[in-house]
Amino acid sequence: MPSRAGLLLLGASLALVSARPTTADETSSGDKLRILYTSRVTFTDEGDPLVTIEVMGGQRRAVLSAPGGLIAMPDGDGGAEVRAGARWTVTLEGGAPAELRDWTVVERLAPDREAELEAALARWKKRGLEPRAFEVGSLFAVDGDVMDGRSVLVAIDPAPPARSAARARAIASRYDIATEIHREMVRRPRGVVVAKSGDTEVRNPGVVWFAPADSQQPIEVADVVTGGGGSQMTTGKQDRRYLGRVYVAVGADGALAVVNAIPTEKLLAGLVPSEMFAAAPAEALRAQAIAARTELLQKIGTRHLEDPFHLCSTQHCQVYSGTGHEDPRTTAAVEATRGKVLLRPGKRLALIDARYSADCGGHGESNENIWGGEPDAVLRGRRDAPAGASPWSDGVSESELDRFLASGKDGSYCAATRHSRGRHRWETRLAAADVDRLVVQALPGIGRVRDIEPLERGASGRIGKIRVRGASGSGVVVGDLAIRRLFGGLKSSLFTVTPVGPASGREAFLFRGAGFGHGVGMCQLGAIGMAEQRKKFAEILDHYYPGSRVHRLY
């Protein structure tokens, strides 16, 4: 196969990425964490981007094993190999956290707009501030195609993480702008990783890599923490298996992070079945594979910049539970769409932000109503139905919400599939005492809850701001995820709430809702419904990401 080269640009650093696997020289320098704390991407000999994804973090101890034996590699591939038993226990000595500081982002600009950047910096300097520019995102160059997903952040007022959220809110209020936080690593974490197997001990600053003696066998990681992402409120532990390499490194918190380094296509083979039913129609699975691949690559360089990995394995990035979950049908969908991604409209080649959720409830939501920021033309809240087939094509207003929620079979694609049962429409009754217990965590001091009042709704009817009135006061909660967690992890923020009993002593609150998830981008059950109506994957993707186009990246 022809040689492939890739580029990924982050901040002021430019990294040339070759088709050769990582060599010992890259990870055996004096600072062994340096290469891990960048967003550098390499390609395998087969041309797949090699992605590093967190298995679990914040650990004091990790146990790894492989049935045919497990090799410890202090310097990564190509360096020294230490062969002992099939099981290694990893601990950390002298762990010290990274020094971090947060900047308040006040403007986000397209790359290569020097005049606009200079004007923005000058504008904030005139206000008596010391702005700084950060470049984030990724720049891939493969076979002559350059995919540019970079942004330039203009940021001010650096502060310790504990104080940054309040300061960002104050700046947003003072200048009447939307703000976000950009985290900068001032100093990397420190510590010696100690790996033991029987009488054999390996000590290495910062990181130890592991590979199975039999390259076809996975590595098992014991007691992986599961759950707790998105609206999930509970966690558990499970032994999980991972293909490729696993390394244990010092995380930004000064504890151990366990990370899987795996080629993108193998990662997707394990990821897609976690995202969509393997029994779904082939065209829906192909649409999911392309969306997942796009989201995976688009997020590199934009998240976890302070961590020794590209992405996490929770809903914050993409749910990934390792190998053993592959299914022939989802693997076939990944293979059939190998290297295909979604690009934004226009001449500039840039990956879209390919968001998706389980069930939009019949109407998708616009990105800014869920996460804030600028509206994205590819992520518009729209009716999940054929054009002209719905009375809610212009959105779901407060006055129409009861009628919308009562329409279980509402003509939408996601309502048409049998898989929507329990997700498309739902009811939850919470005892007043349970609501009081949940709400006090976010709004202490308001007393027993009397009323819950939606203040803002998006295009789909999802609540963006809600007021809770109590016997001793009231408070406001903002944001889709915060609102869902406020009431114990509701399936979505598209709901109405009815109090039961008198205001002086509520008995319960009845939540009637629609959908499962944030509703932005592709509705996964809607994609299944479209495929069941014989729509092809390109039609499905065009419906949920209007204006985007499918492109083979590698």
Q: What is the CATH number of the domain that holds 182?
A: 3.30.70
Give the end of a domain, one of 171, 187, 203.
Answer: 187
One domain for residues 33 and 45: yes
- Residue 339, sorted as left (phi over 0), alpha (psi -120 to 50) or beta, turns out to be left
One domain for residues 62 and 125: no
**Domains contained in the chain, number:** 3
| Mean pLDDT on 358-381 | 94
Q: Which tokens sit at 82?
A: 């230490």
Is 26 part of any domain? yes
For residue 457, the model assigns a pLDDT of: 96
One domain for residues 202 and 301: yes
One domain for residues 115 and 132: yes
| Mean pLDDT on 288-311 | 90
Q: What is the pLDDT of residues 129-180, one digit of tens each?
A: 999 999 988 777 766 777 777 889 999 999 999 999 899 989 998 998 889 9
Q: How confident is the model at residue 112 (pLDDT cuts 50, 70, 90)?
A: confident
Residue 264: pLDDT over 70: yes
| Mean pLDDT on 78-89 | 92
- How many Å apart are CA 84 and CA 475, to the nearest integer? 58
For residue 16, the model assigns a pLDDT of: 28
For residue 225, the model assigns a pLDDT of: 87
One domain for residues 242 and 308: yes
Residue 14: pLDDT over 50: no
Residue 439: pLDDT over 60: yes
259 vs 274, higher pLDDT: 259
One domain for residues 264 and 324: yes
Residues of the domain holding 496: 425-514
For residue 333, the model assigns a pLDDT of: 98
CB 49 within 8 A of CB 340: no
Q: How confident is the model at residue 4 (pLDDT cuts 50, 70, 90)?
A: very low
Is 542 part of any domain? no
Residue 342: pLDDT over 70: yes
Give the end of a domain, one of 187, 211, 231.
Answer: 187
Is 120 part of any domain? yes
For residue 300, the model assigns a pLDDT of: 87
Residue 15: pLDDT over 90: no
Is 538 part of any domain? no
| Mean pLDDT on 496-509 | 95
One domain for residues 116 and 177: yes
- How many Å apart are CA 414 and CA 396, to the nearest integer? 16
User: Using CA of residue 478, residue 310, residue 376, residue 183, what is the dihedral sign?
Assistant: positive
One domain for residues 49 and 194: yes
pTM of the complete model: 0.85
Is 443 part of any domain? yes
| Mean pLDDT on 191-216 | 95
One domain for residues 145 and 35: no
For residue 8, the model assigns a pLDDT of: 38
Residue 231: pLDDT over 60: no
For residue 347, the model assigns a pLDDT of: 66
* Residue 346 CB-density burial (10 A; 0-12 exposed, 13-18 middle, 19+ buried): exposed
- How many Å apart are CA 170 and CA 299, to the nearest integer? 28
- The percentage of residues in the chain with a pLDDT greater than 90, rounded to a whole number, is 67
Is 397 part of any domain? no
Q: How confident is the model at residue 20 (pLDDT cuts 50, 70, 90)?
A: very low
Residue 235: pLDDT over 80: no
181 vs 147, higher pLDDT: 181
Q: What is the pLDDT of residues 418-430, one digit of tens each?
A: 888 878 999 999 9
One domain for residues 454 and 481: yes
Residue 288: pLDDT over 90: yes
For residue 11, the model assigns a pLDDT of: 31
User: Using CA of residue 427, residue 428, residue 432, residue 438, what is the dihedral sign?
Assistant: negative
Q: How confident is the model at residue 389 (pLDDT cuts 50, 70, 90)?
A: low
- How many Å apart are CA 289 and CA 269, to the nearest integer? 9
| Mean pLDDT on 354-358 | 96
Residue 121: pLDDT over 60: yes
One domain for residues 103 and 84: no
Q: What is the pLDDT of residues 505-542, one digit of tens each?
A: 999 999 999 999 999 999 999 999 999 999 999 999 99
Nearest to 152 by CA among 132, 172, 168, 124: 132
Residue 30: pLDDT over 60: no
- How many Å apart are CA 425 and CA 411, to the nearest integer? 13
Provide the mean pLDDT of the chain.
Answer: 88
- Provide the residue type at 364 as one letter: G
Q: How confident is the model at residue 229 (pLDDT cuts 50, 70, 90)?
A: low
Is 320 part of any domain? yes
For residue 10, the model assigns a pLDDT of: 32
| Mean pLDDT on 461-470 | 96
Give the end of a domain, one of 187, 215, 238.
Answer: 187
CB 8 within 8 A of CB 140: yes
- The percentage of residues in the chain with a pLDDT greater than 70, rounded to a whole number, is 91
One domain for residues 194 and 91: yes
Q: Give me the half-sphere count of Cα atoms (radius 13 Å) on the Cβ side of residue 82.
A: 21
**Any long-range contacts for 401-404 (C-beta under 8 Å, 24+ apart)?**
401/457, 401/461, 401/496, 402/496, 404/362, 404/363, 404/461, 404/514
| DSSP per-residue letters across 128-160 | T---EEEEES-EEEETTEEEE--EEEEEEEEE-
Is 280 part of any domain? yes
